[in-house]
Amino acid sequence: MRILFDHNAPRQLRRHLVGHDVDAAGERGWAGLGNGALLDRAEEAGYEVVITADKNMPYQQNLDRRKLALIVLGANRWPLIEPRIADIRAALDGIQPGELRQVHIPIRGEA
């Protein structure tokens, strides 16, 4: 699966998504793009999933007609995300175009 990390997704996650083709928006020169433009470029380039920690993106963008899916992480700090790698992998399983999946990342004291 072709996956694009938004600028706020931790790059350390890449090495845990073995078997997927993962790029970061910054590597493509897309770090400064707004959310809609980023999704447009990702679709045009053939990405199937965008992973972001921008919790507002699903409310700002209509995914219904998109050719890609969106996974929203509940945090962007690696020490919080690392214990949830299995949840992120599970969110990728069977994800369909236009679908939104959110991965809850507990912040200190949360369950």
Q: How many domains does the chain have?
A: 1
- 109 within some domain: no
Q: Determine the average pLDDT of the residues in 73-85.
A: 95
Count Cβ atoms within 10 A of the Cβ of residue 34 and give its class: 0-12 exposed, 13-18 middle, 19 or more buried.
exposed
Strands 49-52 and 100-103, how do they pair? unpaired
Residue 75 placed within a domain: yes
Q: Do 88 and 73 form a contact (C-beta atoms < 8 A)?
A: yes
Cα 107 to Cα 9, 71, 76, 111, distances in angstroms:
16, 18, 10, 8
Residue with tokens 């790698």: 85
pLDDT at 110 over 70: no
The 10s digit of each residue's pLDDT in 54-65 is 998 888 888 888
Task: Decide which of 45 and 111 is more confident.
Answer: 45
108 inside domain = no
CB 68 within 8 A of CB 42: yes
What was the pLDDT predicted at 107?
81
110 domain-assigned? no
**C-alpha span between 35 and 52 (Å, rounded):** 10
What are the tens digits of pLDDT across the range 17-45?
999 999 999 999 998 899 999 999 999 99
Range of the domain at 36: 2-103
Is 111 contained in some domain? no
Q: What confidence tier does 72 reach under pLDDT thresholds 50, 70, 90? A: very high
